[in-house]
Amino acid sequence: MTVTTTKAPEAGTADRLTPEDYETIARELDALRDEITATLGARDAAYIRRVIRWQRGLEAGGRALLMASSLPPAWVAGTATLAVAKILENMEIGHNVMHGQWDWMRDPKIHSTTWEWDNVSPAEQWKHSHNFVHHTFTNVLGKDNDVGYGILRIAPEQKWAPVYLAQPLYNLLLAMFFEYGVAVHDLEIDKIRTGRHDEEVTKEKLRAIGRKIRRQWGKDYLAFPLLTGPQFVPTLAANFTANVVRNFWAHMIIFCGHFPGDVEVFEEERLEGETKGEWYVRQLCGSANITGGPLLHLMSGNLSHQIEHHLFPDLPSNRYAEIAPRVRQLCEKYDLPYHTGSLSKQVTSTWKKIFRYALPGGARTAKAG
């Protein structure tokens, strides 16, 4: 199954662009960014504050329902409500606040330098591995640790090894405990394995991860279950379930934005002398969107507009739907791929690649972008 694109391009579409094309693309996208930035204001600020209020209300409501968690209806309702609250906090709030999307408001409570999310990954480490490494080196083999998260082969350009035969199982476990995979992401396990890491830096990062895990476990698996008294065990189970649901959802959305269909990976040589226009095109070719309605966009943190997010990672997420048609028009103008499809298509396509590239071979017959 392949992902819907604006136009099925032949191999090397981006390679056929001229230096003038790249320069023009950079100017057009810079102008679009400037246009949106100039219109940010009260409507946008009201949006994020409203989402935060709803998220906190859902979390409080879920935890209140779990005060009666020994009753199955209350357990199901409380767990589901808490899971939704955790998804909203991680996806539409935490991820985007820590990208600096709302720093222009100058609100110290909603700022990339002060936000610590409901997740075992320390915010500072995540901001380095995600905001800097991933968004700078998107889909570049050997530079972007998000390509397969260090345990998966998701492209034929990655050298096959027997360990990949079990990667469907690895991926299922990664989905269940995704926040822990994210937490160790900034450790750069490959460097540790090959002895190329700074031991003291690694130890300090591990200590920070340990502190964050203790904080999260203390909240979800001790403090809140204790507050429910005799409901301790079902409340603890509800918190664990809500975290797993959040992890599965975050994993699914993120993988569907980076790995389905013809989304491209790049060799490190691509970075040599890369211009801003070439960086923009790499983001276009290395990302994928998910079609859906406003609820899907909200619950995905607007990462259903992954292409627009990679082009403008620090623009407020509520503006991506507004930008998307114009980005797609630009792709049509320059015969560039615009990977998009329904959630079911993107999930199927991603898992198909995970199963296929668990096996040797798998050379591409055509390369998008």
**How far is the C-alpha of 127 from the C-alpha of 105, rounded, in Å?**
19
pLDDT mean over 13-42: 93
Q: Which of 2-11, 41-50, 285-294 has the lowest mean pLDDT?
A: 2-11
Condensed to tens digits (0 to 9), the pLDDT of residues 178-236 reads 999 999 988 877 776 676 777 898 899 999 999 999 999 999 999 999 999 999 999 99
Condensed to tens digits (0 to 9), the pLDDT of residues 303-357 reads 999 999 999 999 999 999 999 999 999 999 999 999 999 999 999 999 999 999 9
**How far is the C-alpha of 285 from the C-alpha of 326, rounded, in Å?**
16
Return the pLDDT at 198: 77
Phi, psi angle pair for 291, to nearest 5°: -80, 150
HSE at residue 7, side-chain half, CA atoms within 13 A, is 14
Mean pLDDT score across all residues of the chain: 92
Return the pLDDT at 149: 83
The model's pTM: 0.92
Return the pLDDT at 312: 98
Return the pLDDT at 366: 39
Condensed to tens digits (0 to 9), the pLDDT of residues 256-290 reads 999 998 899 999 999 999 999 999 999 999 999 99
Return the pLDDT at 368: 35
What letter represents residue 352's amino acid? Answer: K
Closest by CA position to 299, among listed 262, 252, 265, 337: 252
Q: Look up residue 144 and give its two tokens.
A: 């972007």
**How far is the C-alpha of 32 from the C-alpha of 306, rounded, in Å?**
17
Handedness of CA 10, 14, 20, 22 (dihedral sign): positive
Kindly state the percentage of the chain with pLDDT values over 90: 85
pLDDT mean over 124-135: 94
Phi, psi angle pair for 160, to nearest 5°: -80, 145
